[in-house]
């Protein structure tokens, strides 16, 4: 009798577990177990290799959903920042798994009813884990309907080297539009765009550069040593208090056709003027542009042009021109002109997230010398070997070094290159997040490089990236708003994204490429595949939110004309600032206005007016939120904030 009671109890517990896992069929019927069969392979639908010895895991969607309810912990060996791999590592002893035979086939004789992410671990080093079915949870019924195919990504062979984007485009000419993306256009030699740069989509890319070429003098005044990179105020006219000015920088096009600038000491006229050559522009066309000048073997950034800046704005960071490390050119203690310290070079502080195939070594003189992928159509010979290099991201930045792939024939090619779309979403995201976050690497600056001064190869797990390439996992407290959650500093989209429900959930795990066309074929800004100014950019997945009027009434008690608002108006708050921002927000009771920034928070939440970064904070220092944006003028009362 006691055994029978225990048996009944175990059945009840099992049924309860199935219910919690979401195993009910429509109509409330408990679904039955079913056999699941399939194959693991690489390549395309037409050309592929079967992969033997791979282990296929069924990761319950309910476990991923449960993890998503816990605050993500951003640190090495975190137990919840990789939704699939962390769950798998914690539950290998109880997750269903099957191994592929010599033909790449696997067979589960009985899979309990439920929803699962299908995750494959290769048994060889030629492929990477994850697979094409690792992003969307599938029901047992869907998995059992017909044999499933799991496509795995290849891996970077140990002896592979960088060959440059031009070599890739010889075969993959359908990706020519990659040349039109800002990932390829970010750094240009002044007056000489490379053969890999097509600026046709950014006609105003050199709006700032053209002003400098025409001749411009900047006055650097009102030094404030407490500020970070903009310790001086900058103006194109002499300041009212001339005594506050330390030096001027005059840009001009020299007789040799090169852009140069001369620094003149206003505190000590006897101090000899210095002249520098500007070799490259850095950015432009979207939010800002800076200018790279040479001192010896290295480049250094100077002066920032804000594409949307306005001289009428009181905030120095929102005017057309902004100081960028003028303090490297003038010593306020000695009141003399100086050259920047070698340790501040672009090569050792910034280049790793731009150069394709970045390396960093020291020459005989002790200068940092960066290297990058060789390419006959590259921007500049950065390492002095007589060959042009890619100073911008290339195909191999995301697909791995391509030398072996380029010479391998037939279907064996697929195991020699990385296909990010066949990785688990968390691994694809790590490719982007390494630079769209703010860790510190082994150089103790914002470059996420390892002890050998190399960047992470694509396909690396997030945990391996954090352990091998960072000494600080992400942004410092000052890079967030007062709530400690929303990013304040630029290029922290990934910092936000890994905390979002898009990254961790029990339904569909998104990656950056879910919304952005990484090769640049999309016609919308920021390589978005759908128009962010319409609801379609969200409702293609969130079909239950198609009725915007009903959604607004339910969530915001708002009756605004739905033609005047879209999902991003509330869920795409631009909390981060990289350039001048997008202008003024509403005006507070004291007459000061709130601001709108220019980089979208990738948390996708709706920060409210009682947020610590807003409530009780001066308007000009408050975090931008939907309530303070200019679009709310007719409905929102910010006077009591």
Same domain, 150 and 189: no
Q: What is the DSSP letter of 25?
A: P
91-100, 157-166, 184-193, 530-539: the lowest-pLDDT one: 530-539
Tell me the C-alpha distance between 78 and 62, whole Å.
20
Q: Looking at 77-215, which runs of residues are DSSP E strands?
A: 96-99, 105-111, 115-121, 138-139, 148-151, 187-189
* Res 2 pLDDT > 50: no
Same domain, 485 and 623: yes
pLDDT, mean of residues 467-494: 98
Does 471 map to a domain? no
Q: Can you give the pLDDT at residue 559? A: 81
Does 363 map to a domain? no
| Count of domains forming the chain | 3
Q: What is the DSSP letter of 440?
A: B
| pLDDT tens digits, one per residue of 245-273 | 999 999 999 999 999 999 999 999 999 99
Decide: 188 and 179 in contact? Cβ < 8 Å: no
pLDDT, mean of residues 354-359: 98
- Establish how many alpha carbons lie within 13 A of residue 141's alpha carbon, considering only the half-sphere containing its beta carbon: 8
Tell me the C-alpha distance between 116 and 135, whole Å.
10
Same domain, 75 and 207: no
Same domain, 79 and 198: no
* Res 9 pLDDT > 50: no
- Percent of the chain at pLDDT above 90? 87
**Residue carrying structure tokens 């795409």:** 572
pLDDT, mean of residues 343-361: 98
Does 371 map to a domain? no
Nearest alpha-carbon partner for 607 in 575, 559, 635: 575
| pLDDT tens digits, one per residue of 81-91 | 999 999 999 99
User: For residue 145, what is the domain's CATH number?
Assistant: 2.60.40.1120
Q: Residue 609 burial (CB < 10 Å; 0-12/13-18/19+)?
A: middle
Same domain, 44 and 142: yes
**What's this model's pTM, rounded to 2 decimal places?**
0.93
**Residue carrying structure tokens 């949307």:** 308
**Residue 37 β-bridge partners:** 107
Number of neighbouring beta carbons within 10 Å of residue 479: 16
Largest CA distance in the chain: 105
Domain boundaries, position 198: 184-349
Tell me the C-alpha distance between 537 and 418, whole Å.
28
Same domain, 208 and 345: yes
Same domain, 46 and 82: yes
Does 437 map to a domain? no
Does 147 map to a domain? yes
* Res 3 pLDDT > 60: no
* Res 378 pLDDT > 90: yes
What secondary structure, in 3-state letters, does 151-162 show? ECCECCCCCCCC
* Res 153 pLDDT > 70: yes
* Domain end marker among 378, 393, 423: 423
Q: Which two tokens stand for residue 147?
A: 């044999």
* Res 28 pLDDT > 60: no
Same domain, 140 and 269: no
Tell me the C-alpha distance between 278 and 292, whole Å.
6
Instruction: Tell me the CA end-to-end span of the chain in Å, nearest whole number.
Output: 68
| pLDDT tens digits, one per residue of 203-222 | 999 999 999 999 999 999 99
pLDDT, mean of residues 82-111: 99
Does 362 map to a domain? no
18 or 339, which is more confident: 339
Query: Binning pLDDT at 50, 70 and 90, where does residue 29 land?
Result: very low
Decide: 130 and 151 in contact? Cβ < 8 Å: no
Give the rounded distance of the alpha carbon of 375 from its chain centre: 25
Does 144 map to a domain? yes
Average pLDDT, the chain: 94
Same domain, 204 and 151: no
Same domain, 118 and 264: no
Same domain, 117 and 251: no
| pLDDT tens digits, one per residue of 563-612 | 888 899 999 999 999 999 999 999 999 999 999 999 999 999 999 999 99
Q: Looking at 482-632, which runs of residues are DSSP E strands?
A: 583-587, 593-596
Q: Can you give the pLDDT at residue 22? A: 40
Decide: 137 and 116 in contact? Cβ < 8 Å: yes
Same domain, 484 and 593: yes
Q: Can you give the pLDDT at residue 31? A: 59
Does 430 map to a domain? no
């Amino acid at each position: 009798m006691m055994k029978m009671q225990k048996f009944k109890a175990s059945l009840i517990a099992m049924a309860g577990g199935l219910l919690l896992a979401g195993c009910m069929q429509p109509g409330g019927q408990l679904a039955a177990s079913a056999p699941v069969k399939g194959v693991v392979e690489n390549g395309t639908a037409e050309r592929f290799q079967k992969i033997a010895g791979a282990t296929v895991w069924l990761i319950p969607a309910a476990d991923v959903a449960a993890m998503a309810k816990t605050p993500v912990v951003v640190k090495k060996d975190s137990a919840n920042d990789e939704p699939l791999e962390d769950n798998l590592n914690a539950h290998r002893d109880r997750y269903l798994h099957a191994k592929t035979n010599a033909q790449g086939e696997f067979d589960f004789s009985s899979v309990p009813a439920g929803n699962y992410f299908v995750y494959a671990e290769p048994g060889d080093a030629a492929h990477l884990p994850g697979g094409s079915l690792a992003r969307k949870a599938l029901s047992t019924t869907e998995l059992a309907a017909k044999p499933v195919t799991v496509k795995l990504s290849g891996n970077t062979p140990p002896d592979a080297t960088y060959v440059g984007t031009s070599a890739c485009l010889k075969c993959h000419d359908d990706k020519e539009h990659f040349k039109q993306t800002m990932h390829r256009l970010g750094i240009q030699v002044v007056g000489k765009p490379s053969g890999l740069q097509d600026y046709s989509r950014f006609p105003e890319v050199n709006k700032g550069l053209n002003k400098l070429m025409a001749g411009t003098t900047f006055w650097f005044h009102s030094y404030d040593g407490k500020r970070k990179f903009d310790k001086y105020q900058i103006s194109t006219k002499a300041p009212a208090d001339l005594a506050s000015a330390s030096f001027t920088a005059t840009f001009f096009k020299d007789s040799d056709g090169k852009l140069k600038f001369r620094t003149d000491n206003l505190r000590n006229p006897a101090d000899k003027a210095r002249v520098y050559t500007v070799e490259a522009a850095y950015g432009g066309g979207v939010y800002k542009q800076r200018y790279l000048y040479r001192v010896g073997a290295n480049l250094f950034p100077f002066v920032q042009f804000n594409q949307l800046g306005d001289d009428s704005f009181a905030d120095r960071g929102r005017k057309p021109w902004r100081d960028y490390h003028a303090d490297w050119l003038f010593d306020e203690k000695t009141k003399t002109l100086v050259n920047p310290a070698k340790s501040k070079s672009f090569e050792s502080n910034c280049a790793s997230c731009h150069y394709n195939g970045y390396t960093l070594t020291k020459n005989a003189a002790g200068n940092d010398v960066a290297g990058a992928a060789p390419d006959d159509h590259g921007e500049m010979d950065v390492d002095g070997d007589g060959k042009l290099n890619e100073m911008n991201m290339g195909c191999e930045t995301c697909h791995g070094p391509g030398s072996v792939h380029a010479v391998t024939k037939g279907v064996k090619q697929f195991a020699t290159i990385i296909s990010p779309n066949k990785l688990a979403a968390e691994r694809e995201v790590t490719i982007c997040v390494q630079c769209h976050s703010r860790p510190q690497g082994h150089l103790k600056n914002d470059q996420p490089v390892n002890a050998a001064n190399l960047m992470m190869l694509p396909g690396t797990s997030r945990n391996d990236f954090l352990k091998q390439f960072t000494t600080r996992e992400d942004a410092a407290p000052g890079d967030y708003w007062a709530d400690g959650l929303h990013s304040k500093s630029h290029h922290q989209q990934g910092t936000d994204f890994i905390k979002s429900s898009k990254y961790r959930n029990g339904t569909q795990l998104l990656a950056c490429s879910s919304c952005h066309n990484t090769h640049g074929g999309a016609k919308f800004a920021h390589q978005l595949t759908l128009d962010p100014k319409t609801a379609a950019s969200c409702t293609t997945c969130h079909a239950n939110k198609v009725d915007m009027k009903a959604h607004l009434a339910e969530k915001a008690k708002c009756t605004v004309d739905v033609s005047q608002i879209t999902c991003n108006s509330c869920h795409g708050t631009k909390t981060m600032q990289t350039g001048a921002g997008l202008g003024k927000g509403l005006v507070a009771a004291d007459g000061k206005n709130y601001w709108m920034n220019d980089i979208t928070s990738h948390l996708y939440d709706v920060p409210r007016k009682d947020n610590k970064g807003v409530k009780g904070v001066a308007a000009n220092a408050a975090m931008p939120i939907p309530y303070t944006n200019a679009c709310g003028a007719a409905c929102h009362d910010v006077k009591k904030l």
